[in-house]
Amino acid sequence: MTKEDKAKEKSAQINNALGVFILFFGIVILIATTHTNTYIGEMTNLVAGLILCAIGAGMIIKSWMTIKKLKTSNQD
């Protein structure tokens, strides 16, 4: 495994952890939607929560794919 591959793997692991945090934060905002009194507040929380969940899930999936790709290329 080269230094470049190790750096990519470390970056992917950091992105995975950050993605988990963003996903969790998005879920918290989605739960907060149920405790909002106004329609505008509900829609704002809903959209913000969905966007954060999508970003977090995307980061997690991308990092998993990068790690998997690096591990399979190193076995060759």
Kindly write down the DSSP assignment for every residue of 4-50, as one continuous string.
HHHHHHHHHHHHHHHHHHHHHHHHHHHHHGGG--SHHHHHHHHHHHH
**Residue in 51, 58, 62 with CA at minimum distance from that of residue 25:** 51
Q: Which structural domain range is residue 39 located in?
A: 9-75
| Predicted local distance difference test score (pLDDT) of residue 76 | 62
Cα distances from 40 to residues 28, 73, 74, in angstroms, run 18, 49, 51
Reported pTM: 0.86
Residue 48 burial (CB count, 10 A): 16
The verdict on residue 65 lying in a domain is yes
| Structural domain total, the chain | 1
74 vs 64: which has the higher pLDDT: 64
pLDDT digits (tens, 9 = 90+) for 22-69: 999 999 999 999 999 999 999 999 999 999 999 999 999 999 999 999
The verdict on residue 4 lying in a domain is no
The verdict on residue 1 lying in a domain is no
| Predicted local distance difference test score (pLDDT) of residue 54 | 97
| Predicted local distance difference test score (pLDDT) of residue 74 | 75
The verdict on residue 18 lying in a domain is yes
